Amino acid sequence: MISPIEWKDGCVRLLDQQALPHSVTFLDCDDYRVVAQAIKDLRVRGAPAIGITAAMGVALGAQTIKEKTFDAFSNGVLEICDHLAATRPTAVNLFWALNQMKAVLNAHRDSSVVDLKAYLVAEACRILEEDVAMNRAIGRHGATLLAKGQTVMTHCNAGSLATGGYGTALGVVRAAWDEGKKISVIAGETRPVLQGARLTVWELQQDKIPVTLITDNMAGALMRKGCIQVCVVGADRVATNGDVVNKIGTYSLAVLARAHGVPFYVAAPRSTIDPAMPDGDGIPIEERDIGEVANVLGMTRITPEHTEIYNPAFDMTPAELITGIITERGIFRPNDLARGMLEC
């Protein structure tokens, strides 16, 4: 199984997703600022992966703090958390993971600084392991929705690369494939950063799961021809009413799915649900450098100089367009999500 993040020999080892699919290159980070920059630069991306990486960044940064009292050490850790929190605004998993790290710190305020440093490493590794376990559970639940021979459309990359491993939307695909359902996948290329073309296709090819790449604007035509039976995508943040923010283009796909009677599912763990967000309109949408749109992969300019460009990285799909949300606890209708996931 591809694992994009690892705590290795006191460093955070990241699989450099900007180098894929051309080369499998690892980035060994020995400074939390390098980890933060890797998140900003999309060397590691995908909501759960961003959260896990940030947690590892906190653990890494904490090792270098020289203070000996709890308060001084804690202040140092909080500064590191603030630095990592400023990397990307949309995926709530980032803030969720930083809060987990702060909670561990506060739960051990009577411990020595040496022990606190070890607790933070252990917590970051636990967050990673828990994420993989949640993805496997999401996969088991989601696989029940797929029938033998179906074609599944996905958008962006919500796979192993976007998580601690196994994936959310691609976890569903993987679990169905492992059950022998002989499904196939259509991956939208996901302009402008091409996570679908570069990452989803690469990842599925590693597992020998059949995948066909299309440009984003081909999805409607394929649905009209009956070539797509179900859509499964990931999420960066889910509001308590079931509105979902995910990669730009998800909303268009959901509208198309509704128009063609294709069920539209979102796969997401608890760490992607924001209990403080009653609906999707309040979720901050990251706007990225316009160079991502003006140039293909930073190389060939495809529009005249001085073109006005707008580059929101995410969009909001209202709950009414979503057939169900696949979580580690089961599959919920969007309006049952809060009851199913946030109440014990």
Catalytic residue among 236, 243, 274, 315: 236
Phi, psi of 245 (to 5 degrees): -100, 125
Phi, psi of 211 (to 5 degrees): -140, 140
Counting residues that bind ligand MRU (by CB under 6 A) gives 17
Among positions 97, 247, 280, 324, the unique one binding ligand MRU when judged by CB under 6 A: 247
211, β-bridge pairs: 185
Q: How far is the CB of 247 from ligand MRU (least distance, A)?
A: 3
Contact residues for 27 (Cβ-Cβ < 8 A; gap 6+): 13, 14, 15, 16, 34, 38, 43
Regarding 283 and contact with ligand MRU (CB under 6 A), the answer is: no
Q: How far is the CB of 270 from ligand MRU (least distance, A)?
A: 13
When the beta carbons of 47 and 65 are compared against ligand MRU, the nearer one is 47
29, β-bridge pairs: 12
Regarding 236 and contact with ligand MRU (CB under 6 A), the answer is: yes
Among positions 4, 35, 45, 230, the unique one binding ligand MRU when judged by CB under 6 A: 45
Report the C-alpha gap between 273 and 334 in whole angstroms: 12
Among positions 235, 254, 325, 341, the unique one binding ligand MRU when judged by CB under 6 A: 235
- The DSSP symbol for 218 reads G
30 a catalytic residue: no
The string of DSSP codes covering 248-301 is: TTHHHHHHHHHHTT--EEEE--GGGB-TT-SSGGGS---B--THHHHEETTTEE
Regarding 271 and contact with ligand MRU (CB under 6 A), the answer is: no
When the beta carbons of 78 and 133 are compared against ligand MRU, the nearer one is 133
Q: Which residues bind ligand MRU (CB under 6 A)?
A: 45-48, 91, 156, 158, 162-163, 168, 195, 234-236, 246-247, 313
Q: Which residues does the annotation mark as catalytic? A: 236
